[in-house]
Structures are given as structure tokens and as C-alpha cells.
């Protein structure tokens, strides 16, 4: 009788040992998080511990084993199905290896089964537990070995037959402890730890050649690309770092992964095939208007990768000085937008937007001290940060002032809507313009009451105005000034500012703005069908070129104005527009 009881006692004892041992590898405890922890909390815990125990950084004894445990725990908890299985069964595969249960579960029975149909099993009633050597009142346990069918391995790495054969001298080839799985089943059949096991990037979206060409190449969005082979080490750690960077810069960049095992030709095409370890690349716009892949060779830390990624965000916004602002007078087909902020460099939000909208807007940004800055007041802004826009016709609009930012993603979404609306307004304004040439590459703004102070303000050395009285004349002047405005005209360099004199260009409809011309000449040039008027806002002086106006004549006039060869006359009064 004692011999009959010995076998079950040994088996139950072994199961109890495995139960206790397995508790040490509870993934929640390994990562130090609560059972109700969010994915963000799990990710943060994993990143912190991975950084601490990464074998490349930690050479202490046991660091690699600890790193393997951390990776295994993260593998379970970062996967929704595996985590659910573990929470329900104590095993991420979904087949319970053992279940401690609560007292009273299963009707007070303890189940001990070998798993497959027709195989042996033991059912212990509460009153029978003491007959097996346990104490009355102990918690009940149920143990399950393998799944349906014979010959299946259990979640511990061995079947019921293995126990008998190894402990009682039996067993054929391949069975027992030496058959590939160690006692307890905590090493894989290949004998390799999680640190070196085959693992595919699962949390980062996959990128193939088609998606790369369609959504990444020259799209204006910066991407972090994780290039790997499944058998390389530390994949989960790389993923964790990239995910944290992507979360902190969400909206400004995206992440993707490229598997060079399954897509060798694509990796070869890009020249990014990894060998000993995974690689990280950033699709960058830092050095040119066209994007290019730049390899990240810094430390695998969130701060370092984030800094590198920010450095490679688009740089399509031109930094300007408000004391020498000439944005509105710069001719062009695209509307212009200017960001005013207290930042010493172009903000991340604005750089990201300049990439996404680079073919739809001309971007500028300027640093200002505070709202009391005279230049800010002059632009009509009452709170910072602010975005000012100029339509293609030169009209100025305050797009948004007093911008508040909750987070990067929502800020980019909100500002994108504002830019979309301003673009619609620009298209609407363009649709009602008459007499404008469609072939011209640059539009010369028409002077109005709303844009005059922006185009011909006192900081502009010379404002060259093409005056017309008919649509035919307007077309001709438009073409001439479009061509001339793209050429450089400058005189000696200013010793005070270190900048060259510049010219702003505009058109004026004399039939609607006769009072504007009366401010210069009593007759208002009524006898002239067309003329070029050079106006110096700061000095309040002007000069004119009448008669036949050709491109060559316009060039000679501008050169003479800048070289001081033209006599300027004091205006009768400051010109205004209706």
C-alpha cells in the first residue's frame, strides 16, 4: 500500500515544486507591474529593466539570464492574447499547466489528469487529501499534462510517461531528461534563451517596398525604420525604445519595421541589410528637400534616439528676422504662413507641418521676446504663439493667436485644419482674380487696404508699383514684373544692417484707387494708361517711369533707382488705399 501511494506522492510533490518555481517567473513580478497595468506601464517597465540588464551594457553574472526573463515576460504581457491566456490559465499558450484555484473551486475536488482521452487520472475528494500525505484543509490543486491525444508535451516540457520513465528506470530513445527538454521545461527545445531566440517585430507595423514608395518616399513625414532579422538579439528591446520615441513625438513622425529575412530584395535595394544586430534608420529631410535614409549609430536610449529623430525632422521653414521682415512682398503662387513664438529655434510642430505642407505653403518662423515687441504689435497680433498668413494676392490674415498645446499629436491635427481652411480661402481668392496669367510662375500682389502696410511698410527700401487702368495693361505689367521680380537688383551693402537693399513688387488698379495716386501728384497721373511708381515708404518719396514699359525698361529703371541715378520727389501726403 505504501508503495502504491509513493508514486502519486512523488508526482504531486514534483508538481508542487514546479508550482512554487513557476511563481518566480510570473511576468508581472519580473517586470514589477500590477496585474491591471496598462500597456504603456508595461512598456515603460520593460524598457527600464532592459536598459539595466542588457548584456551589452551589463557584464555582471546572471545579467543575460535576467535579460532573457525580462524579454520573456514582455513577450507575454505585450501580446493581448498571450496575456489573456496567462491571466486565465497561468500559461500564455492557453493550455493550463496547473491551476492553484481558490478553495471551493471545482466543487472541492482536486483534479490530476494526464490530459489525453483514455489516459489515467486521479481525482481527490477533500477527505482523501490526507491519505496522500497532505494536510487536511489544504488548498486543492489540479494538474494537467499536455493536450488531447497521446504523446503531447506538457507546458512544463515533459509528459506523464517521461516522469515514469526517468524516475523508475524505463523509457525509450528521446524520452526522459536527456530528450531535449530539461526538467521544468524552462529552456526551449533548441537550448537557446529568449535573448537569442527567433523573434519577429510584432508591435511595429511592417513596411514593404510598395508601402515605402507610396507612403514614405518624399511624403514629407519623417519615419523611424527598424531593420532586422528574426534571429538577431534584443529585438524587443529595440522595439520598446522606438515605441517610446514614437509616442513622445506622435504626430511628427511614424515608425515601421523591415524584415530582411522575408524581404531580402527590398533590404538589398535600400542597402540596409543587418548582420550582427538590428539597425535603425531615419527617413530624413534635414539636409535636402528630398528625403533620404540616415542610419542611427548612437546609443540605444530613448533620449538619444529622440534627439536624433528631432534633428532629422523637415527644415522647410525659413527663419526670419522681424526687424527685416519682407514676407508679404515676396512674389509667388503659394500662400505664406509665419509662426511667431519665443522659441530660439523652429519648434518641432512647425517643422513637422512644413514637411507635410511643403508643396502647398511657404513656411516662415521668427523668434520674438514677448507680446510687447513693436514688430508683433505692428503685425496685429495680441497673443503668442501666433500664426499669420498671406494669401497669394498679398492679403494678410491672423490665422491663429494664443495657440495652446495639449500634446504634439493634437496640436498638429488642430493646426493642420487651420492650414487646410486657409488654403481653401486662398483658392477662393485666386478664383475671383481677373486678368492673371496662368502660365506665370509668380503672382504679383494687388495692393489693397488690408495688405498695403505689409507690402510697402517702412522696412522695405523700395516698393515698386505697376499702375494700370485696364485689364490688358494689367496682364502686361503682371508678366513684366513676374520676370523682373525673379532677378537680383542690389546696390552697396548696408554697413548698419549688413543686408542688401531689396525691392518689393505690387500692382495697383488706378481706376479704383485714384486717391492713392493723388497723394503723389496733384493730377494723379490721370493721363497715364500705365506707369511704374517707385516708392520709398520710410522717406515718403517717389519716382516714376512713364511711357513705353518693357521688361528691359523696367530693369533699367529699378537699377537706376537702387544706384541713386533717379531723382526722388517728396510725396504730397502719405498714400492710403480704400
Give the residue-averaged pLDDT of 95-113.
Answer: 40
Residue 321 lies in a domain: yes
Same domain assignment for residues 220 and 291: yes
The mean pLDDT of 273-285, rounded to a whole number, is 91
Instruction: Specify if 235 maps to a domain.
Output: yes
Stretch 412-429: mean pLDDT: 92
Query: Would residue 16 count as lying in a domain?
Result: yes
Portion of the chain with pLDDT greater than 70, in percent: 71
DSSP bridge pairs for 224: 255, 282
Same domain, 423 and 406: yes
Same domain, 71 and 134: yes
The answer to whether residue 434 scores a pLDDT higher than 50 is no
Phi, psi angle pair for 161, to nearest 5°? -65, -35
When pLDDT is cut at 50, 70 and 90, the band that residue 103 belongs to is very low
- DSSP for 181-210? S-TTS-S-TT---GGGS-----SS-B--HH
Which among 408, 372, 368, 374 is positioned nearest to 387, based on CA atoms?
A: 368
Does 475 share its domain with 369? Answer: no
Span 437-496, pLDDT tens digits: 444 445 788 888 878 888 888 888 899 999 999 988 998 999 999 888 887 665 444 333
Mean pLDDT (the chain, rounded): 76
Tell whether 248 and 109 lie within a shared domain. Answer: no
Q: Which of 131, 159, 180 finishes a domain?
A: 180
Model pLDDT for residues 496-507, shown as the tens digit of each residue: 333 345 788 999
pLDDT at 48: 83
CA 364/CA 330 separation, integer angstroms: 12
Cell of 576: 492710403
pLDDT at 192: 36
Same domain, 60 and 13: yes
With a cut of 90, say whether residue 169 has pLDDT above it.
no
Per residue in 321-368, pLDDT (tens digit) is: 887 666 655 656 789 999 999 999 999 999 999 999 999 999 999 999
pLDDT of 357: 95
Q: Is residue 575 a part of any domain in this protein?
A: no
- Given a cut of 70, whether residue 422 has pLDDT beyond it is yes
Check: pTM over 0.75? Answer yes or no: no
**Residues 27 and 168 occupy one common structural domain:** yes
Q: Does residue 185 belong to any structural domain of this protein?
A: no
CA-to-CA dists, residue 178 to 318, 337, 512, angstroms: 69, 72, 99
- pLDDT above 90 coverage of the chain, percent: 33
Q: What is the pLDDT of residue 327?
A: 67
- How far apart CA 61 and CA 189 sit, in angstroms, is 24
In the prediction, which pLDDT does 168 show? 33
Same domain membership, residue 145 and residue 6:
yes
Looking at 294, 311, 328, the residue that finishes a domain is: 311
Going 259 to 273 to 199 to 247, the CA torsion angle's sign is: negative
For 359-412, the pLDDT digits (tens) are 999 999 999 988 888 888 888 888 999 999 998 877 889 999 999 888 899 999
Residue written as grid cell 542597402: 271
Q: Is the dihedral of CA 299, 254, 222, 316 positive or negative?
A: negative
Residue that finishes a domain, picked among 249, 278, 311: 311
Domain that holds residue 230: 209-311
129/149 Cα distance (integer angstroms) = 28
Asked whether residue 131 falls in the same domain as residue 172, the answer is yes
* Residues 349 and 373 placed together within one structural domain of the fold: yes
CA dist 142 and 491 (Å) reads 94
* Same domain membership, residue 79 and residue 168: yes
Higher per-residue confidence, 72 vs 546 = 72
Structure confidence at residue 335 (pLDDT)? 92
Which of the residue ranges 82-86, 89-93, 167-171, 531-535 would you say has the lowest mean pLDDT?
167-171
Q: Which phi and psi angles does 462 have, rounded to 5°?
A: -140, 130
Question: Does position 563 have pLDDT exceeding 90, yes or no?
Answer: no
pLDDT band at 121 (very low <50, low <70, confident <90, very high): very low
Q: Give residue 97's pLDDT.
A: 43
Residue 305's CATH number: 3.40.30.10
In this prediction, residue 105 carries a pLDDT of 39
Kindly report, residue by residue over 193-211, the tens digit of the pLDDT: 344 445 666 678 999 999 9
Specify if 144 maps to a domain. yes
Query: Which of the two residues, 237 and 163, has the higher pLDDT score?
Result: 237
Counting the structural domains of the chain, the total is 4
State whether 16 and 137 are in the same domain.
Answer: yes
CATH of the domain at 171: 1.10.287.110
pLDDT at 547: 77
Using the predicted structure, report yes or no on whether residue 174 has a pLDDT greater than 60: no
Answer yes or no: is 200 within a domain.
Answer: no
Domain annotation covers residue 578: no
pLDDT at 260: 94
Q: What is the C-alpha separation between 115 and 463, in angstroms, rounded?
A: 91
Three-class SS of residue 111?
A: strand
What pLDDT, on a 0 to 100 scale, did the predictor assign at position 86?
Answer: 86
Amino acid at each position: 500500500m505504501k508503495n502504491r501511494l509513493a508514486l502519486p506522492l512523488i508526482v504531486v510533490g514534483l508538481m508542487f515544486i514546479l508550482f512554487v518555481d513557476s511563481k518566480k517567473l510570473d511576468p508581472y513580478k519580473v517586470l514589477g507591474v500590477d496585474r491591471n497595468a496598462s500597456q504603456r506601464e508595461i512598456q515603460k517597465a520593460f524598457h527600464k529593466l532592459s536598459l539595466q540588464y542588457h548584456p551589452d551594457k551589463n557584464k555582471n553574472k546572471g545579467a543575460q539570464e535576467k535579460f532573457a526573463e525580462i524579454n520573456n515576460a514582455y513577450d507575454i504581457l505585450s501580446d493581448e492574447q498571450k496575456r489573456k491566456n496567462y491571466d486565465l490559465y497561468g500559461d500564455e499558450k492557453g493550455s493550463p499547466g496547473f491551476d492553484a484555484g481558490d478553495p471551493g473551486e471545482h466543487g472541492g475536488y482536486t483534479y490530476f489528469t494526464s490530459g489525453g482521452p483514455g489516459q489515467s487520472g486521479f481525482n481527490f475528494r477533500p477527505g482523501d487529501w490526507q491519505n496522500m500525505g497532505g494536510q487536511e484543509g489544504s488548498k486543492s490543486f489540479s494538474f494537467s499534462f499536455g493536450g488531447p491525444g497521446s504523446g503531447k508535451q506538457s507546458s512544463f516540457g515533459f509528459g506523464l510517461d517521461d516522469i515514469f520513465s526517468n524516475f523508475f528506470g524505463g523509457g525509450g530513445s528521446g524520452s526522459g531528461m536527456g530528450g531535449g527538454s530539461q526538467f521544468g521545461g524552462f529552456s526551449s527545445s533548441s537550448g537557446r534563451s529568449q535573448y537569442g531566440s527567433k523573434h519577429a517585430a510584432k508591435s511595429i507595423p511592417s513596411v514593404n517596398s510598395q508601402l515605402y514608395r507610396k507612403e514614405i518616399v518624399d511624403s514629407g513625414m519623417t519615419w523611424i525604420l527598424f531593420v532586422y532579422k528574426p534571429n538577431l538579439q534584443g529585438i524587443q528591446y529595440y522595439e520598446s525604445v522606438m515605441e517610446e520615441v514614437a509616442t513622445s513625438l506622435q504626430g511628427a513622425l511614424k515608425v515601421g519595421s523591415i524584415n530582411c529575412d522575408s524581404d531580402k530584395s527590398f533590404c538589398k535595394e535600400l542597402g540596409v541589410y543587418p548582420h550582427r544586430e538590428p539597425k535603425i534608420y531615419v527617413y530624413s529631410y534635414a539636409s535636402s528637400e528630398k528625403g533620404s535614409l540616415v542610419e542611427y549609430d548612437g546609443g540605444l536610449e530613448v533620449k538619444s534616439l529622440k534627439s536624433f529623430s528631432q534633428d532629422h525632422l523637415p527644415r522647410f521653414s525659413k527663419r526670419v528676422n522681424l526687424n527685416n521682415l519682407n514676407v508679404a512682398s515676396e512674389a509667388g503662387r503659394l500662400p505664406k504662413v509665419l509662426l511667431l513664438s519665443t522659441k530660439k529655434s523652429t519648434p518641432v510642430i512647425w517643422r513637422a507641418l512644413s514637411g507635410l505642407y511643403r508643396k502647398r505653403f511657404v513656411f516662415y518662423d521668427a523668434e520674438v521676446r514677448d507680446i510687447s515687441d513693436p514688430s508683433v504689435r505692428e503685425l496685429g497680433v495680441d497673443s503668442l504663439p501666433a500664426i499669420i498668413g498671406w494669401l497669394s494676392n498679398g492679403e494678410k490674415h491672423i490665422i491663429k493667436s494664443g495657440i495652446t498645446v495639449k500634446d504634439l499629436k493634437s496640436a498638429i491635427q488642430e493646426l493642420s485644419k487651420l492650414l487646410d481652411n486657409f488654403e481653401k480661402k486662398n483658392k477662393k481668392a485666386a478664383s475671383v482674380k481677373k486678368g492673371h496669367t496662368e502660365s506665370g510662375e509668380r503672382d504679383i500682389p494687388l495692393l489693397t487696404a488690408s495688405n498695403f502696410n505689409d507690402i510697402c511698410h517702412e522696412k522695405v527700401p523700395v516698393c515698386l508699383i505697376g499702375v494700370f487702368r485696364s485689364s490688358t495693361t494689367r496682364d502686361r505689367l503682371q508678366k513684366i514684373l513676374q520676370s523682373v521680380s525673379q532677378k537680383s537688383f542690389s546696390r552697396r551693402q548696408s554697413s548698419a544692417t549688413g543686408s542688401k537693399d531689396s525691392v518689393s513688387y505690387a500692382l495697383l488698379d488706378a481706376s479704383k484707387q485714384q486717391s492713392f495716386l493723388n497723394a503723389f501728384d496733384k493730377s494723379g497721373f490721370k493721363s497715364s494708361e500705365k506707369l511704374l511708381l517707385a516708392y520709398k515708404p520710410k522717406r515718403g518719396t517717389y519716382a516714376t517711369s512713364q511711357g513705353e514699359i518693357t521688361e528691359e525698361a523696367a530693369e533699367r529703371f529699378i537699377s537706376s533707382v537702387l544706384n541713386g541715378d533717379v531723382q526722388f520727389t517728396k510725396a504730397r501726403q502719405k498714400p492710403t488705399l480704400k
